[in-house]
Amino acid sequence: MLKVLIMEDEHYTLRFLEKLVSSHPLVEEVLATSQGDEAIRLARQLPDVAFLDIELAPEDELNGIQAARNINIISPRTKFVFITGYSKYAIDSFVVHPYDYVLKPVQKEKLMSIISRLAQANEQSCEKEEKKLVLKSNEGLIFIDFNDIFFIEKISKKAFVHNRNGIFEASCSVQDLEKHLPNQFLRVHKSYIINLDKIGHIKDTGNQTYEVSFHGYKQIALISRNKFREHQDRFTPSL
């Protein structure tokens, strides 16, 4: 299933694209906007695909290609499809390696075919276990091996990744991070996702939670009693 971002400055075309894309059975969520800066903000939700108009309204400081460059930094795995009435931009757009290029007026069959192909490619990519988590920081992108992560913690609305090299704040939510984690990670509490391969010991606190300690890491995570009962077969240490 795909999360799709659409940026189009013409109101009628935006509504048409939003309705059309939403109708595809392999699309889970659509994020729609008419502005470049808003598209960049929405990219923090890590869309699988971005359909971008290239030439935006004169008052918009960005065009679609500039927006794509910024989105690519925030969400490197996003695939780009440019939708425009001007074929002259085709060469310039390849700076972000677009998946496809669609001229207006948009043909429904072509757009739906592109979505189907992207969904298939996304599914095949997910089947190949990724080895690194990509986080955006003030210094740029941080690549963390999944095997180096102990747990992910939610504090207020922010997500923090506890790993062998320290604690890094993610630019997206715990829910968004969860979608990119392999099977060794499990949501065990409203505030914690843990790496099952790193569990050292689980202790019953008698207060509706269990404390989890990890091999080679001093900080602990929590498991709710309900989650412990639900996934007890996946917790390998003896209690």
CA within 13 Å, CB half, 15: 2
Mean pLDDT score, 80-94: 62
DSSP assignment, residue 166? E
Q: Give me the percent of the chain exceeding a pLDDT of 90.
A: 44
Mean pLDDT score, 214-232: 91
Of 73-77, 188-192, 221-225, the poorest mean pLDDT is in 73-77
> CA-CA distances (angstroms) from residue 160 to 6, 38, 157, 219?
29, 24, 10, 13
Domain ranges of the chain: 2-127, 132-234
Most confident of 56-65, 101-110, 154-163, 164-173: 154-163
Residue 128: per-residue pLDDT: 45
Give pLDDT tens digits for 135-151.
766 656 778 888 899 99
Structure tokens given for 80: 């780009």
Of 35-49, 104-118, 145-159, 174-188, the poorest mean pLDDT is in 174-188
CATH code linked to domain 2-127: 3.40.50.2300
Residue 239: per-residue pLDDT: 40
Q: Match 């699309």 to its residue by tokens.
A: 27
Give pLDDT tens digits for 39-80.
999 999 999 999 998 887 777 778 888 889 899 888 888 999
CB-based contact 146:168 (threshold 8 Å) = no
Which of these, 45, 38, 10, lies nearest to 174 by C-alpha position?
Answer: 45
Sequence letter at residue 134: V
CATH code linked to domain 132-234: 2.40.50.1020
Buried b vs exposed e over 128-156: b needs ≥16 C-beta within 10 Å? eeeeebbbbeeeeebebebeebbbbbbee
CA 100 distance to own-chain centroid: 21
Sequence letter at residue 7: M
Q: State the Cα–Cα distance between residues 236 and 2, nearest whole angstrom.
A: 34
Tell me: pLDDT of 129 over 50: no
Mean pLDDT score, 123-130: 53
Q: State the Cα–Cα distance between residues 181 and 125, nearest whole angstrom.
A: 13
Residue 87: per-residue pLDDT: 52
Q: Considering the chain, what is the average pLDDT of its residues?
A: 84
